[in-house]
Chain A
Amino acid sequence: MTSATSRRRVLPGFGLTLGFTLLYLSLIVLVPLSTLALRTASMGWGSFWATVTSPRVLASYRLTFAASLGAAALNGVFGLVVAWVLARHRFPGRKIVDALVDLPFALPTAVAGIALTSLYSPNGWLGRPLEALGLKVAFTPLGIVVALTFIGLPFVVRTLQPVIEDLDVEVEEAAASLGAGRRQTFAHVILPALFPAWLTGFALAFARALGEYGSVVFIAGNMPMRTEITSLLIITKLEQYDYAGATAIAVVMLVASFLLLGAINRRQSWASRRGATA
């Protein structure tokens, strides 16, 4: 039998804080999401299935997941570079660059969408030369990737930056003294150490992109079957007072995102357990 004293925790307030956490999460996250499920349940299995498997909806799922994944991958690569430069190098204007990274957080997404659209539209600053090269950005899936990359960048940079700052330079020196080149040191020593944080940043950027609406609708052009993202489709349904249809699409999106993020989280915690502090 376990005695009361041996079960007492060193840190007080466990019961209280756990209760608070659960209550808070329920109010903020679970209750709204469960009404989503309830709404959907009102429509019956048959019409639910018909709604979520209609070609237009399926196309939007494909587009949303593919564009989000592409944007998160782009941010994974270039966000790492930005984070590395900001964490490791001191140069004039570093503070300004550092502040710029946060802009996509602060800017209303619609503003970002309009700015990107005017920049990449066929007569925009970047759109015109790119069009001359045969590359259309605005009003294509590529434009959606551009917008999602823009809003996802800070997630990768801000999760990686502190971890890079904490990296022990001695570990790199040790690798060099053992004969490893810069590339080998990066691949075998630095990347494994950054991987858990990188995966977190990737997951955050990905999750953010899945639900993004404001910055995308302007640059996407919103052509059904081609450049229509799932969030837009949901809004469209709402505007037609088809609440059940909108929530049905949303529930599928929710479940898929939840599964994906869960998988990334498991991979992430496994990686960070492996690399527990030495």
Chain B
Amino acid sequence: MNIEVRGVTKKFGRFTAVDDVSLTVPAGELVALLGPSGSGKTSLLRIIAGLEAPDAGAVLFEGEDQARRDVRHRRVGFVFQHYALFRHMTVFENVAFGLRVRPRGSRPPGVEIRAKVMDLLKLVQLDWLADRRPSELSGGQRQRVALARALAVEPKVLLLDEPFGSLDARIRQELRRWLRRLHDDIRLTSVFVTHDQEEALDVADRVVVMNHGRIEQVGAPDEVFEHPATPFVMTFLGQSATFAGRVQGGKAFLGPLAVDFPGHPHEEARPAAGYTRPHEMEVGRAENGGGGLWATLRHLSPAGAVVKLELADAEGRSFQAEVNREQHETLRARVGERLYVRPRKLRIFVEPR
């Protein structure tokens, strides 16, 4: 089932959490709402769920307005960051809860509930813990119980609020790969909120980047990463070096860099900035081809698959570059040495008027 959000605005006092946001989540997709804290991503998720009412705008499921339907009747599965398990119930009872509170007419018989709950616990690989209480489980296990509980009511939409936010890094990675595989199996339209760009790019079919209550960009992970629509998306999705300056007469003068910029042929100068990711830098000792800058190597981290170089330009502004191991072996750069750095890819954003 697809989700459509139309012009949704939500204010808390004088703070605008969600500012006229429109978004479509196609049926069966796994979409990430990505943004820093306070960007409105959780508020938007809660509005979709019906846990919060928007001040303006509408939420539609399969074209049907949900305004008059509260969270009880929306058939959404909601997974909370801190699990929100019922701690006086066993794992089994937690998962069965949604089925047991159904009105008498549509409540399945006990045997059916039992079979269904055990199926779900198998799905999240926790059937062996059915009789435990939440306090006896690890964080990752609790989150899987929360997921099974949400799936028990056969939701039409699955919404997850920072589902891996309170877990260790390693469990987090495991669990997000597992969530991706689960989604590939059940193909339930899902939206999850995260502030971790790596998580969003790794798991989602589509990433919605939010900032200050607005959507900055919507796109596939490689699309938002390679072709960011705004400087915010560029800087939020991974590291980047920034070269501030101006554009004028078809050229860009960005600090030590001077490159062609046909996007601005006018004689009038405009402030602009160029952004490059560390792995998009070519590092050498000669100025072959130009379009780069001389910089001093300040620090070198040779451990890992890529070698990280911390460099400083002539004015002392530092930026990062990454080279792979082979390049590092041939270059053999030393700290304090002057190197020529050429951005292979430079994304230039002219400041809006």
Contacts and interface: CB of A to CB of B under 8 A. Distances in A.
A192 B149 CA distance: 19
A157 B82 CA distance: 28
- Interface range for A: 20 to 34
B101 A184 contact: yes
Contact of B51 (A173, A277, A278): A173
Interface string B57-80: 000000000000011111011101
Interface residues of B, number: 32
A275 B149 contact: no
B287 to A, nearest CB: 59
Contacts of A192: 86, 88-89
B53 to A, nearest CB: 13
B114 interface: no
B87 A277 contact: yes
A175 B97 contact: yes
B153 A179 contact: yes
B120 interface: no
A16 to B, nearest CB: 33
Contact of B101 (A168, A171, A180, A274): A180
Interface string B319-335: 00000000000000000
A66 interface: no
Contacts of A180: 72, 97-98, 101
Contacts of B71: 173, 176-177
Given A173-B51, A177-B76, A177-B77, A276 B87 contact: yes
Of the candidates A178, A181, A193, A275, the one having the most CB atoms from chain B within 10 angstroms of its own CB is A178
B193 interface: no
Contact of B153 (A178, A189, A274, A278): A178
Contact of A278 (B49, B74, B87, B97): B87
25 contacts: A168-B82, A170-B80, A170-B84, A171-B86, A174-B85, A174-B86, A174-B146, A175-B86, A175-B97, A176-B71, A176-B72, A177-B51, A177-B74, A177-B76, A177-B78, A178-B97, A178-B101, A179-B101, A188-B101, A192-B89, A275-B87, A277-B87, A278-B83, A278-B85, A278-B133
Interface of A: 168, 170-171, 173-181, 184, 188-189, 192-193, 274-278
* The 10 nearest A-B residue pairs measured at CB: A278-B87, A178-B98, A278-B134, A170-B84, A275-B88, A174-B84, A180-B101, A177-B78, A192-B88, A276-B135
